[in-house]
Chains A and B, each alone.
Chain A
Amino acid sequence: MKATKNWLRKYIDRTFTTEEIDVGLTQAGIEVEGVDDLSASFAGVVVGQVVEREKHPDADRLSLCKVDVGDKELVQIICGAPNCVAGMKTPVAKVGAVLPGGFKIKKAKLKGIESFGMLCSAQELEIDSALLSEAEREGIWTLPEDWEIGVDLKKAIGFDDVTFELGITPNRSDCLGMLNVARELGMMYEEKVTIPEVNDNSEDPAAATYVSVEIEDPELSNRYIARIVKDIKISPSPLWMQKVLRASGMRPINNIVDITNYVMLETGQPLHAFDYDKLEDKKIVVRAAKEGEKIETLDGIERTLDSEMILIVDGKKPVAVAGVMGGANSEVDDSTVNILFESAHFAYASVRNTSRKLGLRSEASSRFERGIAPEVSMYAVNRAVDLVEQMQAGSAVPGAVDAYPIKQEKHIVELDPARVNATLGTDINAEDMQSYFVRLGFDVIKEAGSDKAKIDIPYYRTDITRHVDLIEEVARIYGYDKIPTTLPVSATNTKRQKKEITLSERVKENLYGLGLSEIITYAFIHPEEYKKLQREEWLEKSVRILNPLSEAQSVMRASLLPGILNIAKNNIRKNQKNLQIFEVGKVFEQIKANELPKEERRVACLVTGDKIKNWYGYSNEIDFFYMKGIAETLLENLGIEGVSFVQNKEDSTCHPGRCASIMVDGKTAGSIGEVHPQVLENYGIDQRIYVMELTLDGFEEVLTNVKSYSELPKYPSSNRDIAFTIKEDVLDSDIMQVIAGASSDKLVDYRLFDVYNGEQIEDGYKSLAYNLTYQDSEKTLTDEEVAEIHQSIQNSLEEKLGAKLR
């Protein structure tokens, strides 16, 4: 919605500065999204007339003109435009003029002849092409013949104005009309706002002899007014109207079209004019369109409709798509003699959907979509008819045919100053509060012996229906910035913080401490990602978005891996090959159609490249065990117990020989492994990558585990090493189990410290060495006691796993 300074001036007798309008509207709650001083674009350009035109003696394509610019003498100007003819009126940039972009006009010599200025095209003046007819876009700009010579062009076209792009909130659709913007401005500065008066003879029965109106379903339209104007003389609209329309971004067309546009911008009520004589049955019917029904719209395109659209029918044929566009078959043209003005109210959801589906959004449809007060419709149509008569463009048939099945509700709301102050935390006295509503132009009915008053809400303010709406009015008129600042005295909520949140935070802190960087990726991914991961089966359980921005963002992720792998790929491409990253986020799984999906919080880690770049040697490449170390440390720090890693050859995303399930208390909680070379190829990554993905759901309880101190050992411990060879395929976890099973509670710690399978070791065997720690909490263990336990462990290893002691 655009407001212009000159237009506002028509209702408020005060010359506001641009700043005043900006601040005033902002404080009233109308966002000023942009301010455009139209007069700043060019200077020194006037309306001129080409008096004489002859060919340049030395250049066929150039015209040598004598131009009247309102000065005493004609000015000699050379022009290259082919449409330059004697008698035409056109913009003239005189010597000293400045065109858009700062281009200065100077005296010039063209093929030996002097030129004192320039005849301008609309493009050279950077006039928005939407404001121009096709003819006006060609060559130098042909101006209307009746324009006065010598007048500053900006004034002539209405560009001596400042426009304000306004962001109108959905509750204030009334401000889609200039009148109500003026009301707001007048209220803010306590200035009188003059609303144009209209003749209301709507009760006169004459109109009903010309046409009837029938609304089939009030759900589609709850008001439709028709007024008839006879003996129409189509011509250009008066200059004052052309100017404000142009400044508001609308191209003047002819008096009738301009009047409908002007009244729409003024009142917010879109109007439509039908050629009355083209309506066959003289009977307007508002009904739902039939599926597949067709109509050719004003733009000459045949539109296919569906049953959600609303149609205006003349008793025989469709003549307009309600609220969106008129039909070609009832268009007003130069031969039109009688017209029917439509001022109506249509179901806004239908207009919205229709304009979307047909790709026809306009100033009118966007106003219908926001919903206008039905009571405004009569004022608007009467205003249009008055303007026709003022311009002597036709003669009105008295009366209006008004189908109005559901009358707009009238609201009178009681203002309770005590409650207003209690809600705002203010101390505004009752009289001041009442005066605010007077400023708004509302009727205030005081109640004797009470602070309370009844506020009569005008029909155009559909946003005010209950007391809280009055509170809002008081707050904005009093001024938000005058309201005090206090802190609530409320007690703290007794609800405990959600543990899931704390767990996420703990996970992030731990991984940060372990040297990983947090990433955040989109929760939606490309369905192809699953193929790349060799996990096509995940697509079935994935949540799909019906209206994604693109296919690449069309499926809610069922795993964090695609996101983290893509980030790795992008970084590696930028030559950042050493990466240690993680993400904490939710994954989604569709359980049942039309129910909320299951959301599961997970953490994923990815490590690749070198651990750290160094100068002191030794191999530093990240391997599986680096990833596993991070996983183990994380789980230990979180206090999650009962963790084991079980080899998993089935995980198709991972290297079959380098992958494990992370088990907690026997249940799978995640997976860890080297990414399968095929998956890496799918992602276009050519270095080894290690990943881990772990669920966090179900572990919230560990946060409440209270750590308790256990006494430090009083008696010394003894250490013994054990070294043996064993078949290569025996897993460390098996050995651990045997050691743990064979020892008493005196074995307090055991640690693998060497793995060797080089020379001196039989093929198919490996050599392992463990350090075992024995301790008793009651006494010092004797060498004999230690030897006995140690021996039993050795025996077990030999018997159960075929270990050969070294």
Chain B
Amino acid sequence: MRDQLNEIRESAKLAIEGATSLEELKEIQVQYLGKKGKLTQVLRGMGKLSAEERPVIGQLANVIRDELGEVFENSSKALATKAMEQKLLKENIDVTLPGRQMNLGSIHPVTLVEKRIKEIFTQMGYTVEEGPEVENDYYNFERLNLPKNHPAREMQDTFYISEDIVLRTHTSPVQARVMDELAPHLPVKIIAPGRVFRRDDDATHSPMFHQVEGLIVDENITFADLRGTLLEFVKQMFGEDSSIRLRPSYFPFTEPSAEVDVSCIFCDGKGCRLCKQTGWIEILGSGMVHPRVLEMAGYDSEKVTGFAFGMGIDRIAMLKYGIDDMRLLFENDIRFLKQF
């Protein structure tokens, strides 16, 4: 019996070594160590053994069982590792092939800049307002202190729908509309983005473009507040190192009025082609709300003041992204759009 057991041990070891797959190994395991396996079959004859031999053979059988178990274990590990290696080898791919493309959308640069402007001002507590694109002469001009035949109307070439209806030439009529809605409530603190139209078409002018209007009306609003607000805006829009320069100017609906330049973002104010060597680039017009405009809206111009500003979104987008021809914005070449 001892010989039988030793023979099982040897043949099992041989069989295990010869196994080439995990499945084969499993079969061998069942064949030798299973319920009906060779080892069990031999041990069935234990009853015929003497009492002295029985524990000795029993112990030998256990040793062989453990020994084979260990061999099976090791072998199965080795085979598993090998199988894994083969699998991995087989699944080799060219990782330099392009990935499965996701469709990438894009947002128009004008919208991106408009969004940023809205974020900056909503953080400062402004709400966003809107008005019609086809506007009454009354709101577009008269309420902004520009009566009919006022010479300043010449500053903006206007598209007319009828004698009293125009395509709005600026977003400023929203000022009057919002004040009408709110007066005498204080404060008024809004921005109004939107499309505007002027009869002008060349590399730097488009007959349609985008503006953002800003308006604040309250007690004790000062010109210093206007400067501070605009400085804060350009720092957030163009970077912490940006500065502003205000030049006296004229708009019928503000007084005092100022054109506002930002330090050139291309040369940091040193002077370059884009800023015509001045170090400054004009980005917006602004001023203290003209008392007439407040009065027409029903505010007491002795008690409340305000400031207003208006900027061209397209122009800021061109500056921000280095776009040198305004027409690119409206050509909508997909290769242009996909860059944003």
Contact digits for B237-263, partner A, Cβ 8 Å, 1 yes 0 no = 000000001111110100111110000
In the complex, the answer to whether B290 meets A468 with C-beta atoms within 8 Å is yes
Contact digits for B94-116, partner A, Cβ 8 Å, 1 yes 0 no = 00011011111111101100010
Contact digits for A513-550, partner B, Cβ 8 Å, 1 yes 0 no = 11111111111100000000000000000011111110
Which A residues touch B290, using CB under 8 A? 468
SS of B interface (majority): mixed
In the complex, the answer to whether A480 meets B248 with C-beta atoms within 8 Å is yes
6 A-B pairs (CB sep. < 8 Å):
A27-B247, A370-B151, A476-B256, A519-B332, A594-B162, A599-B132
In the complex, the answer to whether A514 meets B207 with C-beta atoms within 8 Å is no
Which A714-766 residues have C-beta < 8 A from chain B?
none
Contact digits for B180-215, partner A, Cβ 8 Å, 1 yes 0 no = 001000011110000101010100000110000000
Whether B223 is near chain A, meaning CB under 8 Å from some CB there, is yes
Closest chain A CB from B244 CB (angstroms): 9
Interface size on B, residues (CB 8 A): 89
Whether B51 is near chain A, meaning CB under 8 Å from some CB there, is no
Which B residues touch A471, using CB under 8 A? 255-256, 288
Whether A276 is near chain B, meaning CB under 8 Å from some CB there, is no
Whether A496 is near chain B, meaning CB under 8 Å from some CB there, is yes
Task: Pick the contact of A543: B115, B161, B187, B229 (CB < 8 A).
Answer: B161
Task: Pick the contact of B258: A480, A519, A594 (CB < 8 A).
Answer: A480
Counting chain B CB atoms within 10 Å of each CB, which of A426, A520, A574, A585 scores highest?
A520
- Closest residue to A566 on the B side, CB-wise? B332
In the complex, identify which listed stretch (B42-50, B81-89, B122-130) lies at the interface while the others stay far away. B122-130
Known contacts A370-B151, A471-B255: A487-B229 contact under CB 8 Å: yes
Contact digits for A139-177, partner B, Cβ 8 Å, 1 yes 0 no = 000000000000000000000000000000111110000
Closest chain B CB from A164 CB (angstroms): 15
In the complex, the answer to whether A27 meets B134 with C-beta atoms within 8 Å is no
Whether A362 is near chain B, meaning CB under 8 Å from some CB there, is no
Which A residues touch B182, using CB under 8 A? 495
In the complex, the answer to whether B220 meets A489 with C-beta atoms within 8 Å is yes
In the complex, the answer to whether A483 meets B229 with C-beta atoms within 8 Å is no
In the complex, the answer to whether B225 meets A487 with C-beta atoms within 8 Å is yes
Which B residues touch A801, using CB under 8 A? none
Contact digits for A653-675, partner B, Cβ 8 Å, 1 yes 0 no = 00000000000000000000000
Whether A349 is near chain B, meaning CB under 8 Å from some CB there, is yes
Which A residues touch B252, using CB under 8 A? 170-171
Which B residues touch A615, using CB under 8 A? 97-98
Whether B26 is near chain A, meaning CB under 8 Å from some CB there, is no
Contact digits for A612-626, partner B, Cβ 8 Å, 1 yes 0 no = 111110000000000
In the complex, the answer to whether B255 meets A468 with C-beta atoms within 8 Å is yes
In the complex, the answer to whether B111 meets A518 with C-beta atoms within 8 Å is yes
Closest chain B CB from A266 CB (angstroms): 21
Which A474-492 residues have C-beta < 8 A from chain B?
475-476, 480-481, 483-492
Whether A82 is near chain B, meaning CB under 8 Å from some CB there, is no
In the complex, the answer to whether A520 meets B133 with C-beta atoms within 8 Å is no
In the complex, the answer to whether B332 meets A596 with C-beta atoms within 8 Å is no
In the complex, the answer to whether B334 meets A576 with C-beta atoms within 8 Å is yes
Closest chain A CB from B177 CB (angstroms): 12
Which B residues touch A469, using CB under 8 A? 255
Closest chain B CB from A753 CB (angstroms): 23
Whether A414 is near chain B, meaning CB under 8 Å from some CB there, is no
In the complex, the answer to whether B255 meets A472 with C-beta atoms within 8 Å is yes
Q: What's the Cα separation between A256 and B249 when bound, in Å? A: 37
Contact digits for A666-707, partner B, Cβ 8 Å, 1 yes 0 no = 000000000000000000000000000000000000000000
Q: What's the Cα separation between A612 and B335 when bound, in Å? A: 15
In the complex, the answer to whether B106 meets A501 with C-beta atoms within 8 Å is no
Which B residues touch A171, using CB under 8 A? 152, 250, 252
Contact digits for A553-588, partner B, Cβ 8 Å, 1 yes 0 no = 100100000000001001100101001110001101
Whether A29 is near chain B, meaning CB under 8 Å from some CB there, is yes
A: contact size bracket = 35 or more
Please give the residue numbers on chain B whose beta carbons come within 8 Å of chain A beta carbons, in ascending order.
97-98, 100-108, 110-111, 115, 122, 124-130, 132-136, 149-152, 154-155, 159-162, 164-165, 167, 182, 187-190, 195, 197, 199, 201, 207-208, 216, 218, 220-225, 227-229, 231-232, 245-250, 252, 255-259, 288, 290-291, 305, 329-335, 337-338
In the complex, the answer to whether A512 meets B105 with C-beta atoms within 8 Å is yes
Which A residues touch B329, using CB under 8 A? 520
Task: Pick the contact of B224: A425, A498, A571 (CB < 8 A).
Answer: A425
Q: What's the Cα separation between A549 and B157 when bound, in Å? A: 11
In the complex, the answer to whether B333 meets A490 with C-beta atoms within 8 Å is no
Closest chain B CB from A617 CB (angstroms): 12
Closest chain A CB from B110 CB (angstroms): 6
In the complex, the answer to whether A170 meets B103 with C-beta atoms within 8 Å is no
Which A residues touch B207, using CB under 8 A? 522, 524, 549, 553
Closest chain B CB from A803 CB (angstroms): 37
Instruction: With A475-B248, A483-B224 given, name 19 new contacts (CB 8 A).
Output: A27-B247, A171-B250, A422-B220, A471-B255, A488-B228, A488-B229, A493-B187, A498-B129, A501-B130, A505-B115, A508-B111, A517-B106, A521-B332, A522-B208, A523-B208, A524-B207, A549-B199, A570-B332, A599-B134
The 5 closest A-B pairs by CB, nearest first: A425-B224, A515-B103, A425-B222, A29-B248, A169-B250
User: Number of A-B pairs whose CB atoms are under 8 Å?
Assistant: 252
In the complex, the answer to whether B330 meets A491 with C-beta atoms within 8 Å is no
Q: What's the Cα separation between A476 and B287 when bound, in Å? A: 12
Which A residues touch B135, using CB under 8 A? 596
- Closest residue to B130 on the A side, CB-wise? A498
In the complex, the answer to whether A547 meets B159 with C-beta atoms within 8 Å is yes
- Closest residue to A601 on the B side, CB-wise? B130
Which B residues touch A517, using CB under 8 A? 105-106, 108, 334, 337-338
Which A residues touch B333, using CB under 8 A? 570-571, 574, 576
Which B residues touch A29, using CB under 8 A? 247-250
Known contacts A471-B255, A481-B245, A498-B129: A486-B103 contact under CB 8 Å: no
Q: What's the Cα separation between A576 and B222 when bound, in Å? A: 53
In the complex, the answer to whether A490 meets B159 with C-beta atoms within 8 Å is no
In the complex, the answer to whether B161 meets A545 with C-beta atoms within 8 Å is yes
In the complex, the answer to whether A26 meets B247 with C-beta atoms within 8 Å is yes
Which A residues touch B223, using CB under 8 A? 423-426, 475, 483
In the complex, the answer to whether B255 meets A31 with C-beta atoms within 8 Å is no
In the complex, the answer to whether A571 meets B334 with C-beta atoms within 8 Å is yes
Which A residues touch B105, using CB under 8 A? 511-518, 580
Which B residues touch A423, using CB under 8 A? 222-223, 288, 305
In the complex, the answer to whether B305 meets A594 with C-beta atoms within 8 Å is no
In the complex, the answer to whether A492 meets B189 with C-beta atoms within 8 Å is yes
- Closest residue to B287 on the A side, CB-wise? A472
Which A residues touch B159, using CB under 8 A? 545-548
Task: Pick the contact of B337: A169, A466, A491, A518 (CB < 8 A).
Answer: A518
Whether A28 is near chain B, meaning CB under 8 Å from some CB there, is yes
Which A residues touch B224, using CB under 8 A? 424-426, 483-486
Which A residues touch B102, using CB under 8 A? 515, 612
Which A residues touch B257, using CB under 8 A? 472
In the complex, the answer to whether B188 meets A493 with C-beta atoms within 8 Å is yes
Closest chain A CB from B72 CB (angstroms): 40
- Closest residue to B251 on the A side, CB-wise? A169
Which B residues touch A476, using CB under 8 A? 248, 256
Q: What's the Cα separation between A170 and B150 when bound, in Å? A: 9
In the complex, the answer to whether A543 meets B189 with C-beta atoms within 8 Å is no
Closest chain A CB from B325 CB (angstroms): 15
Q: What's the Cα separation between A468 and B306 when bound, in Å? A: 13
Whether A371 is near chain B, meaning CB under 8 Å from some CB there, is yes
Which B residues touch A613, using CB under 8 A? 101
Q: What's the Cα separation between A767 and B252 when bound, in Å? A: 73
Q: What's the Cα separation between A498 and B191 when bound, in Å? A: 11
In the complex, the answer to whether A475 meets B97 with C-beta atoms within 8 Å is no
Q: What's the Cα separation between A423 and B294 when bound, in Å? A: 14
In the complex, the answer to whether B107 meets A508 with C-beta atoms within 8 Å is yes
Whether A452 is near chain B, meaning CB under 8 Å from some CB there, is no
- Closest residue to A505 on the B side, CB-wise? B115
Closest chain A CB from B280 CB (angstroms): 10
- Closest residue to B106 on the A side, CB-wise? A517
